[in-house]
A and B are shown apart, each in its own frame.
Chain A
Amino acid sequence: MATSIARFSRRGVASSLIRRCFAAEAALATHTDPPKPKLTVSPSPSPDRVKWDYRGQRQIIPLGQWLPKVAVDAYVAPNAVLAGQVTVWDGSSVWNGAVLRGDLNKITLGFCSNVQERCVVHAAWSSPTGLPAETLIDRYVTVGAYSLLRSCTIEPECIIGQHSILMEGSLVETRSILEAGSVVPPGRRIPSGELWGGNPARFIRTLTNEETLEIPKLAVAINHLSGDYFSEFLPYSTVYLEVEKFKRSLGITV
């Protein structure tokens, strides 16, 4: 029904492209176009597709019954995307551009942990180890920027270097550090208290006691930093005022 109203309004106001954005928003909700037979190889674009949505990308995307849960004092950057079964516990932070996609399995980000910029955390359906394939990032873990985590388990107090890749079923035991750029093959275990790195990840040396004590301190330091960012944002966005102004200028009833 919304589609037909949208189509009428589109025919009436064929000139304004922006109007079509608002109208096509409702039309997009139901893909009622009948499947056309594939005559040529070239794609057939839909006239309803919006090129620009004033809402941007939603930060928290529920899928079915699953709703990502973010603790009240956790900082999740506005361009991070949490989808599906994601739980972000207290004091943790998800930085800019990160994507936590819990659509196939659960993702948990423990207390005071952080997932830094542009990381992708995903979970596969099943892991080659046969264990539950959820991604579990325990407490005080620092996941460096641009890392890719897929169905791995990271035990408490670890540091994952920047641009590292942890594949399905890998286990990083407590108080270990992964160097930047390391690739952990599926099902590998990084033992406790050691420094591993490289592609594929190999043992480098054991960590001294002082280094082990520094690990949770790093996580706490990033927690403090995320507090600064958290306080930059108001509890509720005031962008709705802009939207109302915008709609009024286009003559759309608010």
Chain B
Amino acid sequence: MGTLGRAIYTVGKWIRGSGQALDRVGSLLQGSHRFEEHLSRHRTLMNVFDKSPLVDKDVFVAPSASVLGDVQIGKGSSIWYGCVLRGDVNNISVGSGTNIQDNSLVHVAKTNLGGKVSPTTIGDNVTVGHSAVIHGCTVEDDAFVGMGATLLDGVVVEKHAMVAAGSIVKENTRIPSGEVWGGNPAKFMRKLTDEEIAYISKSAENYINLAHIHAAENSKSFDEIEVERALRKKYARKDEDYDSMLGIVRETPAELILPDNVLPEKTTTRVPTTHY
């Protein structure tokens, strides 16, 4: 049986070898238009000459994010997919428990029209929504920057303040504590209720938990991914409702269970409309 297995393995290897040879013939036929794949050269954490990012061990940095230059990220924060934190001309410091959601851009200014330049500081437990653009600003602790917001140079978002989605905050605007500013250019809209302020802190906490899951998933080795794929395929056909009708209780393997703190709470609390 050993020799049969070995023979089949060798035949498989021949078939793969001939497949690769055929691939080379096809590339030759395609000539100059052929495409050769290369390894991904994307560098998640990259030095810009002597400035290197200082990222805490608990931080989730998505592989497609770019953290470049003089950036400091504190414990428990998360930098989601596609973000760019460019600390090349000045420095960026992100506090702990903050989340910078997908496709956002955090940059700093070296010079600007006013002449006064400050590094970008994002405090603790801040939620920066999807695709936000933060350029040379200070965002203090427990603030909320809505998705798609653009914060220009010198903006200060104070604690417990909210920048509504899609707003464009002009240079050197100061957004006072406990208020919602929005629109283009951003103006005062209304004050935040206490419920909403509590919601901001809760949302930062939720994101910390979510980041752990994504971090675990993105750092899996190839073998682990394959094992889980096989497990998932096996458990795809098993429907819990059907099984409970038959009185069968199946155990989902531990790898496929998400931790409880990510799933919605059983007691439904009314979610306040926070963004406006």
Residues of A within 8 A of B (CB): 2, 25-26, 28-29, 31, 33, 38, 41-46, 48-58, 61-65, 67, 79, 81, 83, 97, 99, 101, 103-104, 118, 120, 122, 124-128, 146, 148, 150, 163, 165, 167-168, 183, 185-187, 199-200, 232, 237-239, 241-243, 246
Contact = CB atoms under 8 A, between A and B. Distances in A.
B258 A51 contact: no
B28 interface: no
Nearest to B37: A239
A79 B103 CA distance: 12
Contacts of A44: 56-57, 75
B57 A49 contact: yes
A52 B147 contact: no
Contacts of A38: 75
Nearest to B255: A64
Given A45-B54, A103-B213, A232-B35, A58 B235 contact: no
Interface stretch (B3-11, B106-114, B216-224): B216-224
Contact of A165 (B42, B80, B147, B228): B147
Nearest to A66: B258
A167 B102 contact: no
29 contacts: A29-B219, A43-B59, A44-B57, A45-B54, A45-B57, A55-B40, A57-B81, A61-B214, A61-B218, A62-B228, A62-B229, A63-B217, A67-B232, A97-B82, A99-B81, A99-B102, A99-B130, A101-B80, A103-B210, A120-B131, A125-B271, A126-B264, A150-B147, A167-B276, A186-B275, A187-B273, A199-B166, A199-B184, A242-B39
A138 B216 CA distance: 32
7 smallest beta-carbon distances between A and B, as pairs: A56-B40, A46-B57, A43-B56, A57-B64, A183-B166, A64-B258, A28-B219
Interface in B137-156: 147-148
B176 interface: no
Contacts of A61: 214, 217-218
Contact of B221 (A25, A51, A118): A25
B46 interface: yes
A52 B39 CA distance: 11
B87 interface: no
Bin chain B's interface residue count.
35 or more
B63 interface: yes
B20 interface: yes
A237 B232 CA distance: 23
The interface centre, meaning the residue of B44, B129, B166, B218 with most chain A CB atoms within 10 A of its CB, is: B166
A186 B130 contact: no
A126 B268 contact: yes
Contacts of A26: 221
A33 B257 CA distance: 23
A41 B264 contact: no
